[in-house]
Every structure is written in C-alpha cells, then in structure tokens.
C-alpha cells in the first residue's frame, strides 16, 4: 500500500514510521520545511524511545520519506491519513479543527484515482463527515471514501503500542474502504489483533470515550489516595485489591499529582464540549476535569504544608518536569502548576529532568536547571518528585541526603519506599500512604 501521512507530529511520525515497518510505502508530509529537512537527515523532532532507529532503518530500506509537497504525496497514495494537530480552541474547550479542514481542502485538490482519506488525529464526532463534505464540494467527481482510524498510542511507549495494539478501531462505510484499511493493518493479523470495524461516528466517539474513561480511572484513584492519607490506609494496596478484580483491571490506578499531557486534558474538554452541544452532558467527565485541575494546583500546597506552612526562602529540588516519564513533552504537565506556585510562595527552584529541560526552560522562567539529580539536590531544603523517571528510582538516597541541606522528600509519584527513606532519616511524604504511627 502507498500511504501519505499529512502532519509529522507525534502521531503522524510514529504512525508513518510504523506503517513503513509493516512494509508499506510511506510519505510523511509537513508544512514545517525545517522539520522535514531535519527528519531527512535522521534528526527526530521529539524524544520517543526507539523512534530514531525505526525512522532511519525504514528510510534506508526505501519505504519511508519526508516531504513538504502534499500534492505529490496524496496523488500517489492509496490512503491518506490526516494526522495534523487539533489543539484546544481558545476560549471554549472545543477542538480546533482548522488544520484538519485545511488539510482536507488541500487533499481534495490532489487526489488522483480511488483514495481513502482517514482521520488519525483525535477529532470530535462529525469531523469525518465534514471532511467528506469538503472534498466532495471541492471536487464532486472525486473517487474517494473517508474513514476514521483513531490512534491509541501512549507517548514514551508509542512504537510498542502501535506495533502491538490491544485493538485497532476503524470507522468505514464502504466495502472498498474497509478492504484498503484491512490491507494496511494485515501485518497485525499475525499477532491476532482484534479489528473493530464500525461506522465513522462510532470510531470517533470510541477514541474520546477511551481517553475519558482512563482519565476518570486516574482521577478516581487520586481521590481515593486523598482518603487513604486521612485515614491511614495505603492506596497502592487498595489499587491492587480492587485492580485484581478483572472487571476493574490493574492498569491506570497509579496515583499522582494529576494527569497531564497532550491528550487527556484536551480530549476530556473536547468531549465535554461536544456532549453539551449534543444535549447529552457528560457530567462525570466534567467533574473529572475540575477535580484534576484543582488537584494539580493543590500539590504545591501539599509541599508547603509539609514544610511547616511556608517555603519562603527555601531551596527546592524538583525532580522531573515532563508530564510523565520517557517523553520530553511539557504540555499540561503538573509541574507547570506546581513550580510557579512554589516560586510565588517564595521558594528557589532547582530542577532536573532527563529529557524535558530544554522545553521547560522556556515554560518555567526563573527555574535553575541542574545537570544531574544530585546537583539539583545540592543544598536543597526539600526534594519534590513530580515525574516518575526510571533513573530517579535508582538514585542513592544516602548521596541525596548528604547533598541536601535538610533531608526532606515529597514524592508525588511514590517512587521511593517510605519505610526505607524514613529509616535513612528522611522526613518523607508520598501520595495516599499512611504516616508512621507515633
Ligand atoms: C494517552 C492514552 O493513554 C493513549 O492511549 C492515547 O492514545 C493518548 O493519550 C492519545 O490520545 O494520544 P499519553 O497522554 O501519552 O496517552 O499518556 P498516558 O500514559 O496515558 O498518561 C497520561 C497522564 O496520566 C500522565 O500525566 C500520567 O502521569 C497520568 N497517569 C497515567 C497517572 O497519573 N496514573 C496512571 O496510572 C496512569
């Protein structure tokens, strides 16, 4: 199959590279000429484990290329995937679809022969239908179908998620389009991946329902963690105790400072907005958004309370600023709420993050960035873990203690063992874990 991928951001780039790995001929397109030039040299615009090798291997094999020329890519393709950004529209929470519709208009002019136009970006219900209308209106005689094929990959595990998905959801409304989509995903038959074929609206809703459910699950365990803190229970044991019930499942029950990233915050908002417009309000999701926003803000207060009610004049070591581990992505990261609030309360912040510091330096002015976690901890009055980078788990607590002015840790991801840290002389507080009995 010949595939054109319109938009070479996270989803476009990973999907394009993985489709090439499936054996298809893929042309990834982007308007950003600099990004395309760098990709052609094998330079990745994002940090994603394994992506650089996948891209360079497939370029070398002649199956993957990058271009700014949308018309050529679309003209030669059996399927065109729209993977451009859908940011939150300013002011109302609705997804901004202007890039999607602009891409549809350009695609319409470039189609030659039967082509399936697929939305891969997360788009509100009704978008696929509108894409079809735009193409049909611009070129009434065009031979095409639209399809919706939402992506479920996670940043940091994107390649594994794409190559070994739990399922593939495909919204199509003609046998011809279904055949093309089935051919594209045929390599996954080998690992018996379930293919869920639906109509277009169903596929679109499925994507939002999935993300909203996961965001709800996280928010639920975060509130249970609050309860655990008050009553002397351990949220990890609660999560295990409920998660072993197959109806609930163990994943996404890890408490933390609140969910962030480029998807959950944006998609829950967009779902709430679409649902209100459709007169079917999603009140649970609306509550999740509110609870999560409040939680991210409250985390700074947790640190301040832990320090006895004030952090004025204190030096705070922040470990991890990205919205989760294994990414350099800072979008809607809890650190963006926590760090400025601590600075406003008079603290000096020295931070370290393995991949996110370049972006963070722009978004967190006034923060000093250290070269290592130990350097960040040097002379600190308290250490705050915001992101659960694997390498933080391996830090030597004795070395941290020696480096710090006061051995105090607020662990917003529960990466350390409370008993061990307290045993070593740290004042330690995690999320949803019992305080030692006095
Ligand atoms: C999420 C979904 O997991 C993907 O399936 C989906 O494809 C993607 O959004 C998308 O729509 O593009 P992602 O945003 O990369 O993926 O990251 P997650 O691993 O889901 O984490 C999201 C947030 O939830 C992070 O802030 C993370 O720290 C938090 N989280 C996750 C928790 O606090 N606890 C958990 O147990 C799991």
Domains and CATH numbers, the chain: 2-198 (3.40.50.720), 208-289 (1.10.1040.10), 296-429 (3.40.50.720)
Nearest CA to ligand 1 atom 2: 154
Q: Determine whether 263 is an active site residue.
A: yes
- Residue 315 confidence (pLDDT): 98
- State whether the beta carbon of 35 lies less than 6 angstroms from ligand 1: no
Nearest CA to ligand 1 atom 20: 154
- State whether the beta carbon of 155 lies less than 6 angstroms from ligand 1: yes
What is the C-alpha to C-alpha distance for residues 398 and 284, in angstroms, rounded to an integer?
44
- State whether the beta carbon of 263 lies less than 6 angstroms from ligand 1: yes
pTM for this prediction: 0.95
- State whether the beta carbon of 356 lies less than 6 angstroms from ligand 1: no
Q: How far is the CA of 324 from the centre of ligand 1 (A)?
A: 8
- Cα–Cα–Cα angle for 82, 163, 324, nearest 5°? 80
Residues sharing a CB contact under 8 Å with residue 280, sequence separation 6 or more, in sequence order: none
Q: How far is the CA of 224 from the centre of ligand 1 (A)?
A: 19
pLDDT beyond 90 at 95: no
| pLDDT tens digits, 106-118 | 999 999 999 999 9
pLDDT band at 438 (very low <50, low <70, confident <90, very high): low
Nearest CA to ligand 1 atom 10: 263
Nearest CA to ligand 1 atom 37: 252
Spatial strand order of the sheet with 368-369 comes to 368-369, 348-352, 315-319, 382-385, 408-411, 427-429
| pLDDT tens digits, 230-283 | 999 999 999 999 999 999 999 999 999 999 999 999 999 999 999 999 999 999
Mean pLDDT, residues 186-210: 97
What is the C-alpha to C-alpha distance for residues 171 and 149, in angstroms, rounded to an integer?
6
Phi, psi dihedral angles at 386 (to 5 degrees): -110, -30
- Residue 53 confidence (pLDDT): 97
- State whether the beta carbon of 388 lies less than 6 angstroms from ligand 1: no
Nearest CA to ligand 1 atom 18: 154
- State whether the beta carbon of 256 lies less than 6 angstroms from ligand 1: yes
- List the catalytic residue out of 18, 228, 263, 317: 263
- Cα–Cα–Cα angle for 313, 319, 322, nearest 5°? 120
């Amino acid at each position: 199959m010949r595939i054109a991928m319109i938009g070479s951001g996270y989803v476009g780039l990973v999907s394009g590279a993985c489709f090439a790995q499936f054996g298809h001929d893929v042309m990834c397109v982007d308007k950003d000429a600099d990004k395309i030039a760098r990709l052609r040299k094998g330079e990745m615009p994002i940090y994603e484990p394994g992506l650089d090798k996948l891209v360079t291997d497939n370029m070398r094999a002649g199956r993957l290329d990058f271009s700014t020329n949308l018309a050529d890519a679309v003209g030669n393709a059996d399927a065109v995937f729209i993977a451009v950004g859908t940011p939150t529209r300013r002011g109302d929470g609705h997804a901004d679809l202007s890039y999607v519709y602009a891409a549809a208009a350009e695609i319409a002019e470039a189609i030659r022969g039967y082509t399936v136009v697929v939305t891969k970006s997360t788009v509100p219900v009704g978008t696929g239908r509108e894409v079809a209308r735009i193409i049909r209106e611009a070129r009434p005689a065009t031979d095409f179908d639209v399809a919706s094929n939402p992506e479920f990959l996670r940043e940091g595990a994107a390649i594994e998620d794409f190559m070994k998905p739990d399922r593939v959801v495909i919204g199509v409304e003609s046998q011809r389009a279904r055949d093309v989509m089935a051919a594209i995903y045929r390599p996954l038959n080998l690992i018996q991946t379930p293919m869920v074929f639906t109509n277009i609206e169903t596929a679109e809703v499925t994507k939002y329902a999935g993300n909203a459910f996961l965001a709800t699950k996280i928010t639920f365990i975060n509130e249970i963690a609050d309860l655990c803190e008050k009553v002397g229970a351990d949220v990890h044991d609660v999560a295990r105790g409920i998660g072993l019930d197959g109806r609930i499942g163990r994943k996404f029950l890890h408490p933390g400072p609140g969910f962030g990233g480029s998807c959950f915050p944006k998609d829950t908002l967009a779902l709430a907005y679409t649902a209100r417009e459709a007169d079917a309000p999603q009140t649970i999701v609306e509550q999740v958004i509110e609870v999560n926003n409040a939680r991210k803000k409250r985390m700074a207060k947790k640190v301040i309370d832990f320090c006895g009610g004030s952090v004025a004049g204190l030096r705070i070591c922040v470990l991890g600023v990205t919205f989760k581990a294994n990414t350099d992505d800072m979008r809607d990261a809890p650190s963006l709420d926590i760090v400025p609030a601590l600075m406003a309360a008079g603290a000096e912040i020295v931070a370290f993050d393995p991949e996110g510091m370049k972006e963070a330096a722009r978004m967190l002015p006034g923060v000093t960035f250290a070269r290592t976690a130990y350097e960040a901890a040097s002379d600190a009055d308290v250490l705050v873990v915001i992101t659960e980078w694997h390498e933080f788990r391996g830090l030597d607590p004795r070395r941290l203690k020696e480096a710090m002015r006061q051995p105090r840790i607020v662990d917003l991801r529960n990466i350390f063992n409370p008993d061990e840290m307290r045993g070593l002389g740290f004042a330690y507080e995690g999320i949803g874990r019992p305080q030692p009995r006095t």
